Amino acid sequence: MCVVKDTNRINAIDRAFNALGGVETWIKPGDRVLLKVNAAFALPPALCATTHPDLVYEISSRCLKAGAERVVVTDNPINDPLSCFSLTGIAKAAESAGAKVILPKEGLFKPMSIQQGVLIRNWPVLYAPFVNINKVIGVAPVKDHHRSGASMSLKNWYGLLGGRRNIFHQQIHDIIKELAMMIRPTLVILDGIFTMIGNGPTGGSLSDLKETNTLIVSSDPVAADAFGARLLQKEAEDLLFIQKAEAAGAGKSDYRSLKLKQI
């Protein structure tokens, strides 16, 4: 895990990968990579409610340069999917890097269950983009979230659910835990260059943002979120989903115990 202090996303991701030995540490020639972005809202990138297109471009092109056979970028956003992918700049960034955007069309979902899952039982999941994929990278911004406390890399997997997934809000921490059990990512990139400290997860105004100049690259999404919580002036113990995900074996919340590089 690497935590970079920087004001610029491109510099930050560059420095983080250099410190970790390049994206080649994880991505080998011939790999098929899926980039799970947060494209939830049809808002411009400056409002930081969605994954920044600079990161999409940088990560996709680095994976392809490392020899990945293909990179697909997907999400099942809350707002109109076409508007989301175009207005957030994610579609353009992905395509110019040579990655393929997969919109959540009907027919790409498949009812799935997870072992020991209580909520994800026979529930439609955005499945088709994962076919033949062997590496999954999650890229998410750090955002305030009134119901769960925070929306970061674990909450980002929510965008893989289909159907009327909003009923899971009744048990928000449990659904995030089950998603953490379902997706074991190769890598997560948590973008706290700006943090949405209020009015989340939609934001909508620059005044909802705070410059926190932090970017986290981690193979452990629980650790990444535990660190990210600090950007929201919270502790990992305040966010029950982190504890639940940890108890389910999805990672370690004590990021200090990991090989942590802070640069």
Partner 1 sequence: MKIVTARRISQIFFLTVFLWTCIVSTLGDSWWQLRGWPVKWIIELDPLVGLGTFLTTHTVYRGLLWGLAVIVLTLVLGRFFCGWICPFGTLHQAIGYLGRRNLKTSEQINLNRFNPRQSLKYWILIFLLSASAADIINFITGLSVRDPRAPWTAAALGCILAILLLSIFTRNERTGGTLPFIVVCLSGFLFSFLSEPTPLLQSSLQTGLLDPIPLMYRSVNLIWVPLMDIFFKQTAPIPRYYEGTWIIGAIFLALLFINLKIPRFYCRYICPLGALLGLLSRNSVWRIGKTDAGCASCLMCERDCEGGCAPSSRIIISECVLCFNCTDACHTREILYQMRPSASGETLVPEFSRRSFLISMLSGISIIPIIRTNGFLATNWNPNMIRPPGALPEKDFISRCIKCGHCMRVCPTNVIQPAAFQGGIEGIWSPILNFRIGTSGCRHTCIACGHLCPTGAIRPLSIDERMGMKFYLDQGPIRIGTAFIDRGRCFPWGMDKPCIVCQENCPVSPKAIFTRIYFSELRNASPVMVSGADSNRIYLKGSPLVPGQLNTGDYFCTFKKGIDLEPRRIISNSADQIVISSKTPWKFLPDAGNEIQLLIRLQQPYVDIEKCIGCGICEHECPVSGKRAIRVTAENESRSETKTLTPRRQERTI
Residue 244 C-beta: closest distance to partner 1, Å: 8
Give exposure, 122-133, as e/b (b: 16+ Cβ within 10 Å): ebbbbeebbeeb
Distance CA 222, CA 32 (A): 24
Residue 8 C-beta: closest distance to partner 1, Å: 25
DSSP category for residue 170: G
Distance CA 181, CA 249 (A): 8
- 72: which strand partners? 34, 100
Residue 92 C-beta: closest distance to partner 1, Å: 9
DSSP category for residue 39: -
- Decide whether 12 or 180 has the Cβ nearer to partner 1: 180
- Decide whether 86 or 186 has the Cβ nearer to partner 1: 86
Residue 231 C-beta: closest distance to partner 1, Å: 19
- Decide whether 21 or 106 has the Cβ nearer to partner 1: 106
Distance CA 165, CA 168 (A): 6
- Decide whether 109 or 227 has the Cβ nearer to partner 1: 109
Distance CA 137, CA 25 (A): 13
- Decide whether 104 or 185 has the Cβ nearer to partner 1: 104
Residue 170 C-beta: closest distance to partner 1, Å: 5
Cβ neighbours of 103 (radius 10 Å): 16
Distance CA 7, CA 228 (A): 16
Residue 200 C-beta: closest distance to partner 1, Å: 8
Point out which residues bind partner 1 (CB under 8 A). Answer: 41-43, 78-83, 86-87, 103-106, 145-147, 164, 166-167, 169-174, 198-199, 201-205, 207-208, 237-238, 240-241, 243
- Decide whether 70 or 173 has the Cβ nearer to partner 1: 173
Helix or strand (DSSP H, E) at 172? helix 172-182
What type of residue is 60?
S
Residue 157 sits at φ, ψ, to 5 deg, of -70, -15
